[in-house]
Each structure stands twice: as C-alpha cells, then as structure tokens.
Chain A
Amino acid sequence: MRQVYMDYSATTPVKKEVLDAMIPYFTEHFGNPSSLYTYGLEAKDAITKARGQLAHLIGADPEEVYFTGSGSEADNWTLFGVTDKLKNKGNHIITTKIEHHAILHSCEFLQKHGVDVTYVGVNPDGTVKIDEIEKAITDKTVLISVMLINNEVGTIQPVKEIAELAHKHGILFHTDAVQALGNTPINVHEMGIDLMSMSAHKIYGPKGVGALYMKKGVNASNYLHGGAQESGHRASTENLAGIVGFGKAAELAEKNLESHIKNCSSLRNYLIEQIQKKIPDTIVNGTMEHRHPGNANITFEYIEGESILLMLDHEGISVSTGSACSSKSLKPSHVLTALGVPVEKIHGTIRFTVGDFTTKEDIDYVVETLAKIVGRLREISSVDEKKGW
C-alpha cells in the first residue's frame, strides 16, 4: 500500500545527512563533554559546532543558545525562569489562547502559585489581537509570550511588532518558534526577541532535543539544577548525538530555507486548490497570507474528523485532527475554538502538513482518496448535507 505522511508539524523524519552526522557520536566520539581528556574535548567541540550552526540559523550569538531536552522544556524554562527571576518586579504574564499546551499548561501551573496570566484572543483569521495585548499590560507584567507560528492553523504572528510593544513597556518578550524554525526566516536580534523556544524533531532532526535562545543579559533562573553544563544554565549531561543532529538539521534548514518554503507552499496550495475543486463544503481555517508553508487546516462539513483520520490511515495516509473525539482530553481544539470555529465544525477538521519528502503524486493520491472517504462518510452521516447543520 502507498504510504503518504502528511503530518510534518507533528514530527519529521530524520534526514540522512543528519543521521550520518550523529552516528559517530554514539559509538566513536561518545565522550562526556565535561571530561578534560581528548574524548571529552572532542564531544565539547561537537556541541560548540552545533551551537554555532543553530545560532547562525536564527541570527543569534552562539553563547545565547542553550540546548534543552525538548521544545516543551524551553517553554517551561522560560515561564518558570522569567517569573522567578523577576518576582520582585511583578507577577503577571500575557500570552494567547492559541499557544501550545507546553505554554498553556505551564501557565495554569503558575496560576496555582500566585502568577496572574492573561490569555489574549485571536481574530477569526488566526492572528493575535495586538490591541488586547496592549490593554492587558500592567506595571506588574514581566513577560509577554506569543508563538511565532501556530501549530494547528499555521498562522504567523507579527512578533516583531509585539516585541516592540513589550519593550516599550520594559517587558521581556518570548516566542515559541518550534513550528517556525526552518519554515520562516528568523533573526532574533532584528525581531527583538528576548527568549525563543525551538525543537529539533520538527526540522528533520532527532526527537528529544530542543533549545532556548536567551538574549545576553536576560538570565532567566535555571529550571534544571545540577551540574554546570550549558555554561551553568542547564544541568544534564548533554544529549551529544542529538545536539550534533540538531546542529546539522539547522545547517540544512538554513541552506534550504528559501527552496523549502517555495516547494512546500506550492504543494500545500495545490492540495488546498484540489480539495476545494473536488470536495464540496470545505472550509480553510486561518489566514492564507502569513502562514506556515506546509500547513493546510481544513474543515469537512457534516462529518467527524476521527472517522476521516481512521479511513485515511486505512489507505496509508497520515494526518491529524482537531476533533475532540481523537484527543485524549475529549475537548475540541482550543485553537479552533479561539478562532471562533463552531464546535460541530471543529469536529470535522483535519490538519495536513506537507514537507520536504512530499510529492505532487502524494497530493493527487490524498485528494482522490479523501474525496471518496468524505463522500462515503457523508452518506453515513445523520447530518443532511442538503439541509446543512
């Protein structure tokens, strides 16, 4: 059976060049980077190189990049570390309703420990309401955190503008760039970003490696305590091979950025165009103007998303859904809810994300299969497509 992976925002395969770069660091150059003999120094050099590769991709100085165990850890570190560091200044954070759970659940935890959090809404097109951010600012606000690209609807947020707003009020600005890295140009200094979360497994690197960019002088409190790794900012013996892989993936992402964006967005646009041509009653969620190049988030009216996902999987196609029925929490997507998509339509929403190994033939296969599946499920559905909801 044909296999078509269309969930690149969930994770990506490790590229061969990346894997090749990693393997010697499992077997030959396996030293502990903290050791003072040759094995250790080799390992340390490899991490320094990777730090440089990642820093280069985002326009940072290498000393401003700290490797972590994941994007989630970078998000947690930011929220816990900044609120702790600045607890004498204030106890208020502003973020948005469409953040990843790594941000939202950390904020909920902080709320139980005396931190106030304002969750700002978004416009129906998925762009954050900047005026609401401005209104939410108080003299107790210590951090504004707004994701650069949303993981469900792919909308790119105007973080440069939001960073300026934050700085005007003397507030730090963090962005979760886990989905953005390698999918849109990033220059942390030009964009005025103080802290930024990243993850390797979304850019054809390994899982379980992330990074936090922290601008010189920001000095959020440590989150992991122990040894003096990462210049004393993050304890844990480094995930050596993982970090090497992240560095290589970052180097490739930088080299391929333009062509990656161009190819993915043209395939994605073709996917949307074909779906709209061949399948009636579909809705594209989120603006098409500033959007993740691979993301298509589409509602198929009158049917439920888990059913679509299962039938696609049966035909070898991997996608994800915003439907409550396929989430462990049984809650419909908080992102689509924030966009104002009615719940019954959220249930029928599928996220497709294309990436570097997607072909036009893959898309033709997906659209053809999808048209049959949607037609079949609409025959089964108790919602009459002629009468509508």
Chain B
Amino acid sequence: MALYNDTVMDHFMNPRNVGEIENPDGKGVYGSPVCGDMMQITIKVDEKTDVITDVKFKTFGCGSAIASSSMATEMIIGKTVDQALAVTNKQIVEELGGLPPVKLHCSVLADHAIKCAIYDYAQKHGKTYKGLEGFDPEADDDDEQAEGCSGPSCDKK
C-alpha cells in the first residue's frame, strides 16, 4: 500500500549522517535542483590507511533520494576508498530493500556523489584509484532527464 517500504521510510524519516564536515578531505555535489535531486557529500579520509572515517550528506530531493543518500553514507563509512568506489546504485537499492521502479533512475544519485567526493579527494591529495578510471566529473550519463534538465555532473561549488 505504501509508496516505500519500511527501510526506505526509516532512512527517509531518520536519515543518518546528515550535515557537512568542516574542512573535508573530499567534497562532491551531484545532480541539480532543476532535475529534482541534488546531493552533496563530504568525506574524511585517513591518508595512511585510505579508510573513510566520516561521511556527511545533504540532499535536496524526494523520499527515495534522501533515503538512498542516507543508506549510501552508512555503506561507505569505515570502508577503504577502493571499497567505497565499488559501491553501485544497485547495491544501495538492494540494501534499501528495493525502490518503486519509477524512482530508480531519477533519484539514486548517491553512487555518483560518492565518486565526485572521492575524485575531489584524489585530486587534492595526488592519488589515483582504479575505481576512478574513466570517471569524467563533467559527464552526463543520466539519459532520462526531466524536461529542461541539463544533466548533472560533479559540481565543485
């Protein structure tokens, strides 16, 4: 009956890791308000171990966008950068126990936002990661856009 399952509703009503880290090691913004969803993610990384020690997010968007942002932060805290880069949209949706089909393409931007933040970290710290190979921060790979929505790309503001 409900639009979303209990896990999605829980992450939407009580999102984890909301906020913004001061002086983050990496920051990524993905999506745009015109498209209806925009996620910002800030990360702290232990340079020696490459472990992501803290993640905070802020999201403009619908229930599934907020829930998937929250879930994604939980999935990468404590993971190495390589492990975090391996997280896919599909895994986030699976962890959430599924999303309504119409929500799949429009609101799961978390994996892109994570990549944007890690890309920023890699740039600033002169690091390279296999998972970032071929990653183009300017790319627009979301082909099903709302009208008048000029595809999202990493935004460095």
Query: Which residues of A approach B to under 8 Å, CB–CB?
Result: 302-307, 310-311, 314, 323-326, 328, 330-332, 342-344, 347, 379-383, 389
Query: A303–B62 Cα gap in the complex (Å)?
Result: 9
Return A303 CB to nearest CB of chain B, in Å. Answer: 7
Inter-subunit contact B62/A380 (CB<8 Å)? no
Query: A344–B147 Cα gap in the complex (Å)?
Result: 12
Chain A residues near B36: list those with CB within 8 A: 304, 323-325, 332, 347
Query: A343–B38 Cα gap in the complex (Å)?
Result: 13
Inter-subunit contact B3/A310 (CB<8 Å)? yes
Total A-B residue contacts, Cβ distance less than 8 Å: 77
The answer to whether residues A381 and B59 also contact, given A314-B13, A325-B36 and a CB cut-off of 8 A, is: yes
Chain A residues near B13: list those with CB within 8 A: 311, 314
Looking at the complex, which one of A310, A326, A328, A331 makes contact with B12 (CB distance below 8 Å)? A310
CB-CB contacts below 8 Å: B62-114 with A = 62-63, 65-66, 102-103, 106-107
Minimal Cβ-Cβ distance residue in B for A302: B60
Contact with A along B43-74 (1 / 0, CB 8 A): 00000000000000011111101100000000
Inter-subunit contact B146/A382 (CB<8 Å)? no
Q: Beyond the given A324-B146, A325-B62, A342-B34, could you list 18 further A-B residue pairs with CB under 8 A, ordered by the A residue number? A: A302-B60, A304-B37, A304-B60, A310-B3, A310-B9, A314-B9, A323-B62, A330-B102, A332-B146, A343-B146, A344-B32, A344-B34, A380-B59, A382-B38, A382-B58, A382-B59, A383-B33, A389-B33
B29 within 8 A of A: yes
B-side interface residues, number (CB < 8 Å): 32
Inter-subunit contact A307/B62 (CB<8 Å)? yes
CB-CB contacts below 8 Å: B127-157 with A = 146-149
Chain B residues near A326: list those with CB within 8 A: 62
Most A CB contacts (10 A, CB to CB) among B34, B36, B39 go to B36
Chain A residues near B29: list those with CB within 8 A: 382
Chain A residues near B40: list those with CB within 8 A: 382
Query: A302–B3 Cα gap in the complex (Å)?
Result: 23
Query: Which residues of B approach A to under 8 Å, CB–CB?
Result: 3-4, 9, 12-13, 15, 18, 29, 32-34, 36-40, 58-63, 65-66, 102-103, 106-107, 146-149
Query: A359–B38 Cα gap in the complex (Å)?
Result: 37
Inter-subunit contact B33/A306 (CB<8 Å)? no
Most A CB contacts (10 A, CB to CB) among B33, B59, B107 go to B33
Query: A323–B103 Cα gap in the complex (Å)?
Result: 13
Most B CB contacts (10 A, CB to CB) among A305, A307, A323 go to A307
Query: A303–B65 Cα gap in the complex (Å)?
Result: 12
Inter-subunit contact B106/A380 (CB<8 Å)? no
Chain B residues near A330: list those with CB within 8 A: 102, 106, 146
Inter-subunit contact B60/A383 (CB<8 Å)? yes
Query: A300–B117 Cα gap in the complex (Å)?
Result: 28
Inter-subunit contact B33/A344 (CB<8 Å)? yes
Inter-subunit contact B62/A306 (CB<8 Å)? yes
Query: A305–B63 Cα gap in the complex (Å)?
Result: 9
Return A389 CB to nearest CB of chain B, in Å. Answer: 7
Inter-subunit contact A343/B106 (CB<8 Å)? no
**Contact sample, A vs B, 29 pairs, CB 8 Å cutoff:** A306-B63, A307-B12, A310-B4, A310-B9, A310-B63, A311-B13, A324-B146, A325-B36, A325-B61, A325-B62, A325-B103, A325-B106, A325-B107, A328-B102, A330-B102, A331-B147, A332-B36, A332-B146, A342-B34, A343-B34, A343-B148, A347-B33, A381-B58, A381-B60, A382-B29, A382-B38, A382-B60, A383-B38, A383-B60
Return A310 CB to nearest CB of chain B, in Å. Answer: 5
Most A CB contacts (10 A, CB to CB) among B39, B63, B149 go to B63
Minimal Cβ-Cβ distance residue in A for B12: A310
Chain A residues near B107: list those with CB within 8 A: 325
Query: A54–B7 Cα gap in the complex (Å)?
Result: 49
Return B74 CB to nearest CB of chain A, in Å. Answer: 15
Inter-subunit contact A307/B38 (CB<8 Å)? no
Query: A210–B60 Cα gap in the complex (Å)?
Result: 40
Inter-subunit contact A307/B61 (CB<8 Å)? yes
Return B89 CB to nearest CB of chain A, in Å. Answer: 17
Most A CB contacts (10 A, CB to CB) among B60, B102, B103, B149 go to B60
Return A59 CB to nearest CB of chain B, in Å. Answer: 41
Return A325 CB to nearest CB of chain B, in Å. Answer: 4
Looking at the complex, which one of B18, B102, B106, B147 makes contact with A379 (CB distance below 8 Å)? B18
Minimal Cβ-Cβ distance residue in A for B106: A330
Nearest 9 interchain pairs by C-beta: A344-B33, A325-B62, A306-B62, A382-B40, A382-B58, A381-B60, A310-B63, A383-B60, A343-B34
Chain B residues near A380: list those with CB within 8 A: 15, 18, 58-59, 66
Minimal Cβ-Cβ distance residue in A for B148: A343
